[in-house]
Amino acid sequence: MTTQTPSRPLTGRVAVVTGASSGIGEASAEHLAELGARVVVLARRAERLDALVARIEKNGGQALALAVDVTDAAAVRTAADRVAAELGGADLLLNNAGVMHFGPIEERARAHGQSQIDLNITGLTNAIAAFTPQLVNAAAERGVADLVSTSSIAAQSVVPGFAVYAGTKAYVSHLSRNLRAELGAKKVRVSVIEPGLVDTELQNHVADAGARAFLESSKEMLEWLEPQDVARTVGFLASLPPRVNLPQVTVMPTGQPG
Ligand code: NDP
């Protein structure tokens, strides 16, 4: 095994990233690979994952693509079994796949509300259930593992029309606080990242034209984060000495008030 160096502090580690076919997950997978980790990239769009793996490998990294719908608990368990068999198990999970919809609760709650709950809550919890045993094993063997989840500043804010999305993200943040109390003693660092506006495909899924126009127009007033900004935060968390855990990190565009 190659040894860790200051520029490759994650050498020897195995990172699983959900929602890796675009945006924050894609950028994080690339960055974690640059830092030396072998990365496993999960999402539904296989061709996007294959292109990401090819890019990582071209840059000298190692990656494995697993096309998985994380709302399917059995499929996530099968993916975890493959990670155990092929890479010896994960010691970092970036639980990041998510979707955001907008709509007054009485109009959109059923369709969009449920799909957000299915992915942002159930999908995220499926990945935790499938990979946490590997994280605990890795931490016992090597002294550290990381469970990092992507929440949102929406977990702390109140914006009419985003109630279900904000509720799902509050779940991610509070679940993480509670899991930290459970897993910290087992040397698994639990962190939640709450980004503000990041320029990704997330906003493309907002069907409401007015809400999309509002989001788009905010780009004229403030500079949004790039996915790489959040990716660097993930890399920073994971590269800290095992005794250091940042439980909750809010990453905001400088000009976004709240
Ligand atoms: P993207 O839309 O670019 O990425 C979402 C990712 O989730 C994609 O890779 C998508 O891949 C994956 N995904 C969607 N559904 C599933 C599924 N059923 N199973 C597996 N993967 C799935 O958006 P972001 O990068 O912005 O979003 C990443 C996270 O960041 C989300 O949790 C989001 O809530 C959060 N966030 C984003 C902010 C922003 O402003 N962009 C701000 C705060 C938080 P595929 O379609 O191939 O399955």
pLDDT digits (tens, 9 = 90+) for 210-255: 888 888 899 999 999 999 999 999 999 999 999 999 999 999 999 9
Interval between CA 61 and ligand 1 midpoint (Å)? 23
Q: 118 exposed, middle or buried (CB, 10 Å; 0-12, 13-18, 19+)? A: middle
- Say if pTM beats, i.e. exceeds, 0.95: yes
Most ligand 1 atoms within 8 A of CB, residue of 112, 150, 228 to mutate: 150
What atom of ligand 1 comes closest to residue 230's alpha carbon?
30
Helical segments of 35-68, H only? 46-58
Superfamily of domain 14-251: NAD(P)-binding Rossmann-like Domain (3.40.50.720)
Does the active-site annotation cover 171? no
Q: What residues does ligand 1 touch, defined as CB less than 6 Å away?
A: 18-25, 43-45, 48, 69-71, 96-100, 119, 123, 150, 152, 195, 197-198, 200-202
Q: What are phi and psi of 249, to 5 degrees?
A: -125, 120
The answer to whether 148 touches 234, Cβ cutoff 8 Å, is yes
Active-site annotation holder among 102, 165, 171, 224: 165
Q: pLDDT by residue (tens digit) across 62-74?
A: 999 999 999 999 9
The pLDDT value recorded for residue 4 is 80
The answer to whether 32 touches 12, Cβ cutoff 8 Å, is no
